[in-house]
């Protein structure tokens, strides 16, 4: 699993802002294809069944909007109302929320909000000691928040341990700092929008967007994205967790400036269920 890909840039977020409240099913409006691309890239519209390039508000778009609204605990109006736009413009992880918009994890208890990737990829049994390394051009000031994030997961899981090594080619987990098109087919989009992305086990790659206004903490800094909080989230993906729809969970898809998040009970329960640690 990677990030949303090239078309969803900050300009599409601006397009969505301009669409707010202006249209509903059956109408046409310039910029609707940007909304469709956003929903398709995050798993709410199926590319195969939908023309994402047209500017018509069709049944599929209404259904996708309702699915998005339900996921984020908004009123499922099927229209692009103010609350929905406000959610869409919050900076977030690039990993899709769902595989396609009708995918769900019905086998999970109703009180749980954590999710796994399709087919439950995970590190092999007994592979609990993972190494990580930073790319050669990775900024030194952003190392400590990532180290602290690994420590959070080590303590909470009581299973994984993480040790830093020098050679990124031999490391299980590869941490890099990238901007724009960086060669993995999942381009970053400048400041705002997508903050980072990571891949499910056992790929091991995690990339942070160099164009963001990051804070290295520890602790909240106004008008900056907390690096450690995002690192905790992305490491969850590296271990096999998908997005949680618990707004208090570290694995929730989005995070606002000036907010610090650590692991909560939903995140910890998810990793323990995935690896049979209960």
Q: Rounded distance, CA 221 to CA 233, Å?
A: 18
Is 189 assigned to a binding site?
yes
**Torsion sign over Cα 65, 67, 70, 71:** negative
Residue 21 burial (C-beta neighbours within 10 Å; 0-12, 13-18, 19+): exposed
Q: What are phi and psi of 14, to 5 degrees?
A: -65, -40
Q: Is 14 a catalytic residue?
A: no
Is 209 assigned to a binding site?
yes
Is 93 assigned to a binding site?
yes
Is 237 assigned to a binding site?
yes
User: For residues 271 and 236, is the Cβ–Cβ distance under 8 A?
Assistant: yes
- Residues ≥6 apart with Cβ < 8 Å to 186: 2, 3, 4, 5, 6, 94, 197, 207
Is 1 assigned to a binding site?
no
Is 88 assigned to a binding site?
no
DSSP 92: B
Q: Rounded distance, CA 246 to CA 244, Å?
A: 5
Is 33 assigned to a binding site?
no
Strand runs (DSSP E) across the chain, as ranges?
Answer: 129-134, 161-164, 173-178, 196-198, 205-209, 214-215, 225-226
Is 170 assigned to a binding site?
no
The single residue of 60, 178, 228, 234 carrying the catalytic annotation is: 234
Is 58 assigned to a binding site?
no
Q: State the binding site for Zn(2+).
A: 93, 182, 184, 197, 233, 237, 243, 251
Q: State the binding site.
A: 93, 137, 172, 182, 184, 189-190, 197, 209, 212, 233, 237, 243, 251
Residues with catalytic function: 234
Q: State the binding site for Ca(2+).
A: 137, 172, 189-190, 209, 212
């Amino acid at each position: 699993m990677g990030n949303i890909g090239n078309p969803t840039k900050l300009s599409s977020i601006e397009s969505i802002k301009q669409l707010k409240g202006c249209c509903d099913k059956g109408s046409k409006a310039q910029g609707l294809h940007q909304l469709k691309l956003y929903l398709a890239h995050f798993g709410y519209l199926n590319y195969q069944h939908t023309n994402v390039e047209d500017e018509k508000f069709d049944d599929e778009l209404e259904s996708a909007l309702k699915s998005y609204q339900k996921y984020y605990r908004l009123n499922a109006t099927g229209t692009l109302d103010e609350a929905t736009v406000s959610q869409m413009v919050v900076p977030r992880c690039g990993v899709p929320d769902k595989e396609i918009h009708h995918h769900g994890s019905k086998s999970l208890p109703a009180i749980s909000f954590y999710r796994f990737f399709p087919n439950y990829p995970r590190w092999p049994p007994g592979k609990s000691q993972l190494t990580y390394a930073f790319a050669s051009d990775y900024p030194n000031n952003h190392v400590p928040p990532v180290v602290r994030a690994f420590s959070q997961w080590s303590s909470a899981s009581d299973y994984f341990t993480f040790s830093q090594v020098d050679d990124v080619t031999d490391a299980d987990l590869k941490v890099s700092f990238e901007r724009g098109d960086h060669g993995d087919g999942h381009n970053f989009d400048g400041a705002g929008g997508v903050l980072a992305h990571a891949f499910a086990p056992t790929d091991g790659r995690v990339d942070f967007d160099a164009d963001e206004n990051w804070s290295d903490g520890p602790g909240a800094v106004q008008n900056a994205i907390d690096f450690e909080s995002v690192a905790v989230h992305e490491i969850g993906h590296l271990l096999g967790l998908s997005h949680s729809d618990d707004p208090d969970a570290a694995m929730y898809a989005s995070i606002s400036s000036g907010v610090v998040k650590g692991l909560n009970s939903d995140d910890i329960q998810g990793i323990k269920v995935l690896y049979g640690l209960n």
